[in-house]
Structure 1
Amino acid sequence: MSNKGVVMNYKELQHLYYMVAIDLSSNRISGIIPDVMGELKSLVLLNLSNNMLSGNIPSSLRKLTNLEALDLSLNNLSGNIPQQLTELTFLEFFNVSFNKLTGTIPENGQFSTFQENSFEGNQGLCGIQLLKKCEDHGMGSMPQSDNGDQDSGSSLVQFDWKIILIGYGGGLVAGLSLGNIFGPNILAWLGKIFKGSNLVL
């Protein structure tokens, strides 16, 4: 812990392990969320919203098995929402809106009950809770708009028709041109052949 720029270590921090609620919202706190936060297993409420926190959401928060409310909104958090947070079976309120999170929103457990406003303001997030669906490219899920498949499909069909029309048009022009140039000579040559066979052309 730091106080006026002086870093100090406190040995009595074990008393925090019995706290049931921590609200540090709107305090301009910067830095990352420490992994040790996952050791505060008595927590029922954790509110770190409206600060300047950065880095990833630590997967160690899955250890807070009594947690009912987690608010990390209005920070600069990045990376994915850890899939391990679906293990928080008592979680009734969850808010990570207006961060810089990316990837797929977990769908299991309590996460299936959270609404869009819990995740809004994260341009890189996608999932069933948002209008922005995810598309799997084999390297992880990427955001995709609702009409992405339709747009790609229609452009592919248009592209195929263009090829067909170009081929048909080119063949027609080439056939007419060659017919005008070589047509009389071919007819004369065929006439000679058929005359020798006693056939009339």
Structure 2
Amino acid sequence: MINVDQHMTYMGAPNDSYDYSVRLTWKGLEIELVKIQTLLTTINLSGNNFTGKIPKSVGQLKGLKQLNMSHNHLTGNIEPSIGNLTNLETLDLSSNNLTGRIPIQLATLTSLAVFSVSHNQLEGPIPTGSQFNTFDNSSYEGNTRLCGFPLQKACNSGERQQVTTPSGEEDSNSDENGLGWKSFFTGYAFGAVFGLAMGYLVFRTKKPTWLVKLIEGEGHPRLKRSINNTCISYQRRRRRRN
């Protein structure tokens, strides 16, 4: 008996292409491909009357560049695992019966150029950030309960959401670093003022006796003598000048 798992091979052709043609929508344009290149990583399941939910396993297709599941009868929420498809350039889920919110994970797809969830039953705020700032109203039309940019319907304060992108993390780190620098400069300024004030007091009193007493309490004998001699010499020089 042959173990299929150990002898799996991919279909191939001498010129790395297949000789039949297919029509598909690529980045919003309907085109006909006479030969399908093996490098073309797209799944087009549009117009097949499919029912049920989008499977979670779709998030494992990491090399996928286009996913078109429009014009079916899909139900349930948009699968958040689609946010794992970092190479995805086109996502078309329009004309289904999808409900719930647009997953915030989709806003991390930095290669996404074409996006449509129009004519579903989606609700809530549209994610912001990254490519979602470039899509227009046509991507969301037919979903009367959606709100937020680019729609004219504003979201309530409790509905607003923001996506945390790598740039957002950098901003957060910048804030933290900024707080650290503020603390540093605040401490530095306080120390400078304190030092100037102490220097002024020493200058006015002629001899920093409080410093001598502080060191005499715990300091090394040799250090005590050195400081005493320094203070005496300083006092003598002041008298000569006066």
Q: Normalized against structure 2, the TM-score is what?
A: 0.50
- Counterpart CA distance in 2 for 1:126 and 1:55 is 19
Shift of 1:107: 1.1
Amino acid at match of 2:112: L
- Please state whether the residue corresponding to 1:101 is helix, strand or coil: strand
Structure 1 unaligned segments of length 5 or more: list them.
Answer: 1-10, 142-201
Partner of 1:93: 114
Structure 2 unaligned segments of length 5 or more: list them.
Answer: 11-38, 161-242
- Counterpart CA distance in 2 for 1:88 and 1:49 is 19
Task: Give the count of matched residue pairs.
Answer: 128
Map residues 42-81 of structure 1 onto 2, 5 A cutoff. Answer: 42-81=63-102
Partner of 1:31: 52
> Does residue 1:21 correspond to 2:39, yes or no?
no
CA deviations 1:88-129 (Å, max 9, x no partner) are 000000000000000000111100000000001001100111
> Does residue 1:124 correspond to 2:155, yes or no?
no
- Counterpart CA distance in 2 for 1:62 and 1:107 is 14
CA deviations 1:165-186 (Å, max 9, x no partner) are xxxxxxxxxxxxxxxxxxxxxx
- Please state whether the residue corresponding to 1:134 is helix, strand or coil: coil
Shift of 1:80: 0.4
CA deviations 1:2-53 (Å, max 9, x no partner) are xxxxxxxxx89997xx971000000000000000000011100000000000
Q: Normalized against structure 1, the TM-score is what?
A: 0.60
Is the strand fraction higher in 1 or 2? 1
- Please state whether the residue corresponding to 1:50 is helix, strand or coil: coil
4+ runs deviating over 6 angstroms: 11-15
Amino acid at match of 2:41: V
Whether the 8 Å CA contact 1:49–1:71 is kept in 2: the answer is yes
- Counterpart CA distance in 1 for 2:120 and 2:96 is 5
- Please state whether the residue corresponding to 2:156 is helix, strand or coil: strand
